[in-house]
Amino acid sequence: MILVTGGAGFIGSNFILDWLANETAPVLNLDKLTYAGNPGNLTAVEKDARYRFVHGDINDRALVEQLLREHHPSAIVHFAAESHVDRSIHGPGEFVQTNVVGTFNLLEATRAWLGTVSAEEKSRFRFLHVSTDEVYGSLSADSPPATEIFPYVPSSPYSASKAASDHLVRAYCCTYQFPSLITNCSNNYGPRQFPEKLIPLITLNALNMKALPIYGDGLNIRDWLYVGDHCSALRAVLARGRIGETYNVGGNSEKTNLEVVKTLCNIVDELRPAASPRASLLNFVKDRPGHDRRYALDAGKLARELGWEPQEKFESGLRKTVSWYLDNPQWVEEVVSGGYRNWLDTNYAAR
């Protein structure tokens, strides 16, 4: 079996669904269920005998040790994190606690457990740390996309905490021959993403004819990857990646935020026609502090070594994503709770 941390979140839940559809090994999902964790993301596999959920914190060393001792996973796929840049600006403490200290705790518990298993079991085990392109910082307009040997220059408390966790994972591999791999991925989008991130936030606001907040001039660039492509990349890295290596996972799909929002407006207009076009709702608001101008990833290593390339085109992936939100009003209803409305006040009221 494999142990997934943070599997009730956006990418983790997509990964578990994808894994159970394509692989035979059972999944144990350890998730604290923060505001971003939603067991409803996994109702489709609730009755699958190969799926088990454990409500808990990666910082709970005794719990992690017990799970390792009882289940002997062949891999840990580590998604659990605080993941939203804007929240990291309003409250960085949780980001250090979960992303840095939590990852350290997981590494320590796993290292201790690996010391108790057979050499054969240890040689099969993999620790896959799921990280982000944001660790490479903001690229200039004329920079080539970041390769795995680009320097780490994080600019937000979120990306700094992810960078710190990457460094710890790499150091464990060098120092203790800890069998880890790291992936750094670009911006994901797709079903089940919490509507604090750009694409689901704009989709739902556009559907409800609400203002569409664009930070700054809207010309910041992100590279977008459909979440299903990220899941297949992670399975490839787990199966065939080389221990100690880092693999970039990119979408070859750089877009300005304005391009993304205008494309979303067109799709929503087409699927839910309204009296006025959604693009009239665009609202330029105060910029995010330390807002990185451009992210771009070179995923050539993953293509060359493991034969992985993204399959989904941005336009078709976006269409699928909008359709998913339209087809799942109950999921949206449950997620858009009081806590979510408080966040909208915190982040947007003074902009």
Binding site for ligand NAD (CB under 6 A): 5-6, 8-12, 30-34, 36-37, 57-59, 79-81, 83, 98, 102, 130-132, 162, 185, 187-188, 194
* H or E element that contains 270: helix 257-271
Which of 68, 162, 135 has the alpha carbon at shortest distance from 108?
68
- Residue 201 within binding range of ligand TDX, rule CB under 6 A: yes
Owner of token pair 């976006």: 318
| 158 classed as catalytic | yes
The interface partner of residue 328, options being ligand TDX, ligand NAD, none and the CB cut-off 5 to 8 Å by kind, is: none
- Residue 134 within binding range of ligand TDX, rule CB under 6 A: yes
- Residue 84 within binding range of ligand TDX, rule CB under 6 A: yes
Question: In this chain, which stretch among 66-74, 82-90, 99-107, 233-241 interacts with ligand TDX, using CB under 6 A?
Answer: 82-90
Q: What are the residues whose beta carbons fall under 8 Å from the beta carbon of 175, sequence distance 6 or more? A: none
DSSP class of residue 252 equals S
* Nearest position to ligand NAD, beta carbon: 9
Cα(13)–Cα(11) distance, rounded to whole angstroms? 6
Tokens of 153: 């220059």
The interface partner of residue 98, options being ligand NAD, ligand TDX, none and the CB cut-off 5 to 8 Å by kind, is: ligand NAD
- Residue 98 within binding range of ligand TDX, rule CB under 6 A: no
* Minimum gap (Å) between residue 37 Cβ and ligand TDX: 14
CA angle 22, 43, 129 (to 5 degrees): 55
- Which one is catalytic: 158, 226, 247, 295? 158
Cα(322)–Cα(317) distance, rounded to whole angstroms? 9
| 94 classed as catalytic | no
**DSSP strand pairing (221-226 vs 254-256):** antiparallel
- Residue 146 within binding range of ligand TDX, rule CB under 6 A: no
Closer to ligand TDX by Cβ: residue 73 or 251: 251
- Residue 255 within binding range of ligand TDX, rule CB under 6 A: no
- Which one is catalytic: 134, 223, 292, 312? 134
* Minimum gap (Å) between residue 84 Cβ and ligand NAD: 7
| 133 classed as catalytic | yes
* Nearest position to ligand TDX, beta carbon: 132
Which of 267, 288, 302 has the alpha carbon at shortest distance from 351?
288
CA angle 109, 112, 117 (to 5 degrees): 120
**Hey, which residues does 127 pair with through a beta bridge?**
76, 180
The interface partner of residue 201, options being ligand TDX, ligand NAD, none and the CB cut-off 5 to 8 Å by kind, is: ligand TDX
Size of the site for ligand TDX (CB under 6 A): 16
Sheet holding 221-226, edge to edge: 187-189, 221-226, 254-256
* H or E element that contains 129: strand 126-132
- Residue 263 within binding range of ligand TDX, rule CB under 6 A: no
Closer to ligand TDX by Cβ: residue 31 or 134: 134
Contact in structure between 166 and 222 (CB atoms under 8 Å): no
CB atoms near residue 51 (< 10 Å)? 20
* Residues belonging to the active site: 133-134, 158
Q: Please report, as ranges, the residues that interact with ligand TDX according to CB under 6 A.
A: 83-85, 132, 134, 187, 197-198, 201, 213-215, 220, 222, 257, 288
